[in-house]
Amino acid sequence: MKVTISHIKADIGSLPGHSIVDEKVMARIQEYIEDHGKNLISDFRMAHVGDDAQITMIHTKGIDSPEIHELAWNAFRAGTEVAKKLGLYGAGQDLLKDSFSGNLKGMGPGVAEMEINERPSEPFIVYMMDKTEPGAFNLPIYKMFADPFNTPGLVIDEAMHSGFRFEVWDVIDHKAIFLDGPEDIYDLLALIGSKERYVIKRVYTKKENKKLPEENVAVISTDKLSLIAGKYVGKDDPAAVVRIQSGLPAAGESLEAFAFPYLVSGWMRGSFNGPLMPVGMKDAKMTRFDGPPRVVALGYVLKSGKLEGPVDMFDDPAFDYARRVAGEMTDHLRRMGPFEPHRLPDQEMEYTTLPVVMDKLKDRFVDIEKETVVK
């Protein structure tokens, strides 16, 4: 049976700053979907990370379904009304348009969805990040699906020995390229190491996979990236849906990709590099310097359109060490204050006063070759 997993997220207001979604807002979104989703979806779950509200829905309408997108849009609108009433900060932040027009592309919310042939057991993990951008998934998705030091199944499980196919977007030239692991991994890494420009959008099984047909096995939300060609507009807290087991990375191989808190860009004012800290839902709130950037992982199985779970996968002492290292990295980086590479290069910052400063100082610049010593 073909079934679609649609994960849709938006920041529609938080408290006290960009820290956490209010429970009343979550309850309103939930209530809206319960009331209006009955004939559209077979199941759903709500979650949040930091100030981003997240909905995972199951249905049979395929990806980019106007009805499903509109349901999520209207649920976020209902949640926004509550956020406004409560005076939450940034109420309605991610709802960029006044009315829905058939698809969520370019409207603000992030969407990660895939249509699949449901397996007898269909386990998957939803990863949700706050205070970073879609390119933050490049490194862990690569590790899960292409790096045998992370995923030994690539070597020792015959079913997945042939590797996986990656769909990478060039967000500046607005193009996509398909690259195969292991054949193309050096080319793949040459691109996705530049995570502001090249972003993994999807991963597919290859036809040689012994357990699954050729289909989508991982998808990352990249919605802002599809907005304007030629200009990076990507500071958009991302989410990913990753199918696991039986010809795919095991749950533990998928989670293993987050055991090392690598650096991502975002954090305070979307303008700083910081370590990505894996946390359980109880710690999915943003505090120090509006972070550090965090990722939560909720594990599910899907059966005949119904979800079992979630299991809060990073709520576990096995990730304490990663959290401690992330804490130490936070301390180290914070001492650099406004200096790169803690602060992002100015073209990647979400906020920059540099043009204003430059304008103010323009008459005070003198030619280096002429007299520059103040007498």
Instruction: Show the site string, 322-341: x = touches ligand 13P by CB under 6 A, - = not.
Output: --------------------
Please tell me the distance from the alpha carbon of residue 79 to that of residue 84, in angstroms, as a whole number: 9
Residue 331, CA distances (Å) to 179, 218, 327, 337 in order: 38, 33, 6, 11
Question: Do the Cβ atoms of 241 and 113 come closer than 8 Å?
Answer: yes
Quick one: which of 337, 336, 303 has its CA closest to 5?
303
Q: Which of 133, 196, 237, 256 binds Mg ion (CB under 5 A)?
A: 237
Tell the smallest beta-carbon distance from residue 166 to ligand 13P (Å). Answer: 21
Which residues, 224 to 243, sit near ligand 13P by CB under 6 A?
Answer: 237
Helix (H) or strand (E) holding 44: strand 43-49
Please tell me the distance from the alpha carbon of residue 208 to that of residue 371, in angstroms, as a whole number: 70
Please tell me the distance from the alpha carbon of residue 49 to that of residue 10, in angstroms, as a whole number: 10
Please tell me the distance from the alpha carbon of residue 4 to that of residue 6, in angstroms, as a whole number: 6
Q: Does 102 bind ligand 13P (CB under 6 A)?
A: no
Give the catalytic positions in this structure.
11, 232, 235
Q: Are strands 277-278 and 294-303 parallel, antiparallel or unpaired?
A: parallel
Structure token digits, residue 215:
């289909």
Question: Do the Cβ atoms of 227 and 106 come closer than 8 Å?
Answer: yes
Is 237 or 256 the residue whose CB approaches Mg ion more closely? 237
Instruction: Show the site string, 175-214: x = touches ligand 13P by CB under 6 A, - = not.
Output: ----------------------------------------
Q: Does 133 bind ligand 13P (CB under 6 A)?
A: no
Q: Which of 12, 29, 51, 200 binds ligand 13P (CB under 6 A)?
A: 51
Q: Does 296 bind ligand 13P (CB under 6 A)?
A: no
Is 135 or 153 the residue whose CB approaches Mg ion more closely? 135
**Interhelix angle for 23-36 vs 66-86, to 10°?**
150
State the binding partner of 167 from ligand 13P, Mg ion, none, CB within 5 to 8 A by kind: none
Is 157 or 184 the residue whose CB approaches ligand 13P more closely? 157
Tell the smallest beta-carbon distance from residue 29 to ligand 13P (Å). Answer: 17
Binding site residues, Mg ion, CB under 5 A: 11, 18, 50-52, 90, 130, 237
